Structure 1
Amino acid sequence: MPHGRSDVPLTDAAAAPVVYDVTRLVTRALNPSPNGIDRVDFALARHFLGKGATPLICTALGPRLSDTQKALDTISAIEAYWREAADANEDAVYHSVVAVLAGEGRTEAIQIRHDRKPGFERVSRNWRALRDWAFHLGRPISEAPDGAVYFNATQFLLDRQWYVRWLEARPDVKPVAFIHDLLPVDHPEFFRPIEATLHPRRNRNIARLAAGVVSASRAVADRFAAFAAENGRADIPACVAPLPVSPVFEAPSAPPEALCGRDYFIVCGTIEPRKNHLLLLNVWRELAKSGPAPKLIIVGKRGWLNENVVDMMTRCPSLRASVIEAGGLSTPGLRRLMAGARALLMPSFGEGFGLPVAEALAAGVPVIASDLDVFRELGGDAPDFLDPLDGLGWLQAVRDYRGPESPRRAATLARMKASEIKNDPSNFFETIDRFVATISSRAN
């Protein structure tokens, strides 16, 4: 697993002033739980703003600079709303899932949606923050520090020419963008139709303007390099910084006592075509033909183009007793459930990193995953790899992993124990800091 690789030397150059774009993060203030990009944005915002970076926010007046403490206060409010640090015992969704797994819940059309009640005070505070940010006067973008590095961790609004115009007017400011993936470019069929236009446009703007790019995997860095070269820019410095896993996944955790001896599997990710939930639902429908199937917990919110998946979950009689849709599950709740799972399943057609795989490996939970370059880069030979189109192979794998004496599961655990997969959150930030310092030291 390549930690800290980049295409330019990582120097100890003096830190440059950083302008960090918090626009997308602020818009997530009322979302009940974060997705992968939210987590990356949140972590980097905390890191850079905690070191005194200047926040940039798009308001009704366009891009404006704001106060660092104001942005940190909003981030703290979002963190409280997400309840990422809460104990699993405080998570109603977690308790509902455990009850169903233990046989105490209903047995038809099991759909457990977000039921965490953050309280009027936190909702009201976040709503006021959204309103205040929308009409925030701030300071003109022209006051950005000379020679600053502008960091955008989400690519949000970078497809809009009016939004990037200030960068064209400030050639002394060096933009750095986090490239999560180019999947909407390579596989537009998995995304909303508008993404086939917007994602190429935002990546072309990055290729044209960026002084450097960061990605979580070598696979994505190489793909963006090819895209940039196709668009007339073959010289963009790149840094590979694998995403850190929350410490909660490395901490020892015992499965709930009520689930002792229960067979269940977890799939984690937004319900959308690229995640290939449909394959798993067909596997579970086949399993149900020969008797009670193990439970499948689908963790994640509903995304886009997922009507066939939702129809199967809610209308297929043979799935009603075995498939649990758990929307809004907290991170601590997910960790507790992982502790007793037979395996994490990841049948995706494509990923930029695959944070659930990293989380499961850190937690010591076996992983059955699509045979993707990014998963090989992340987990080496430890996961059990299958083709995402191999329905019979996935069916057999689930059968093989059932029960406490599964030889195939034991073999995967042995490979995980022998591997040298390490999680070092500090290395992620140090790698990016050194890269940003290198970018800032380059001549205009």
Structure 2
Amino acid sequence: MFYFYGEPVYTGLLIFSAVSDYSHSAYIERYRGTGRAKIALISSITINLAMLFFFKYADFFIESVNVLFGRDFNSLELSLPIGISFFTFQTMSYTIDVYRGSVKASRKFLPFATYVTLFPQLVAGPIVRYATLETQLINRHINLESLSSGIQRFIIGLSKKVLLANQLGEFTVAFRATESNSVLFTWAYAVTFTLQIYFDFSGYSDMAIGLGRLLGFEFPENFKYPLCAKSITDFWRRWHMTLGQWFRDYVYIPLGGNRVSHLKWLRNLLIVWGLTGLWHGADWNFIIWGLYFGIILAVEKWLNISKTTSKIGHIYVIGVVVVSFVIFNSLSMDQLWLDLKTMFGLSDVPFVTSETLFQLKNYSNLILFGVLGATPLPKLTLESMQNFKGVDRIRQFTDPVGLVILLWGVTAYLVDSSFNPFLYFRF
């Protein structure tokens, strides 16, 4: 019902995906170790990728052909089914795992359909594998602790989205609307958008994990303070962790991983990161974004700097990531090129303007809260207070009051604001 309310037209697509992979996996289980099982696996993957290509990439392909070959094919102009990138990857992982023997095919359709349509993480992750929930789908326990933890995690995630991500997004709107741009304004936009997308996506993941606990499910973590990473390798172990693990296990390792020649390893890396970029969106800036990270990861491996712990390493990571999200958020190649030129002082704009200073003054406290919230400092501060006598009793009162205040603030903001969907809904 959750998906039907948001996407009544495409609910049939979700059901078809569940039926298709359930049937293919049952066939694979029956004919395990034979050529028939392999054919069924190829069929399942082909169907999933065909759905994804048709709805998400067909217009991008048509537009690219028109530009490259001077043709005039009409775009399909299909609306993108919510969460198609997530649920197709989940169902593909299930079929592949059955083929590999990592899990047994579900004998009953209802538990598997529950896994596919599980609404908390259906539309924007985290990407959950069937093996993680297999036992929980049949037998799970809900108690006061899981309910309390789930409510707390949900409210924190919602607060990240509404009180931080949405308001940081207003800085992006102001930046795009300005007629008085500057180098400093562009860098400030890059930083605030990086914080915005972090709080937007990690906030949704927190909400999904919290709702899952309320229903008796334990979903995997998706973020681990990525902006505190000391290398880009470390960053991608902390950012959208379930997607990185998916590409590692189902693309990178099957291609040979790093147990091949240096040239093939570089090929594998660029394939994985080109696909990672393309997964995020059907446009060239996403492909460039993915390859940008692939090249940097290759350089890190070559220079053996992936395990650095210096402060310089952290500054380097922030710089690389901030530039990456300028690429990520560009609406055209012209805009991308202009933003990058401006950031590095190569365009005809001043270093700072009065409007830049005005906007930075207006948003300085919000940006400061965002920077602090992206670190484990608030969590570590609360944990350190546990060492003091009587803190447990005080927190039994202050924690619920704090959550109520957060929920009140979120409600007040939502009542007074316009609709502002999660950024990753468009993927």
Q: Using structure 1 for the length normalisation, give the TM-score.
A: 0.25
Higher relative contact order (CA 8 A, sep 6+): 1
Hey, which of these two has a bigger chunk of helix by percent?
Answer: 2
TM-score of the superposed pair, with normalisation by structure 2: 0.26
* Structure richer in strand, relative to its length: 1
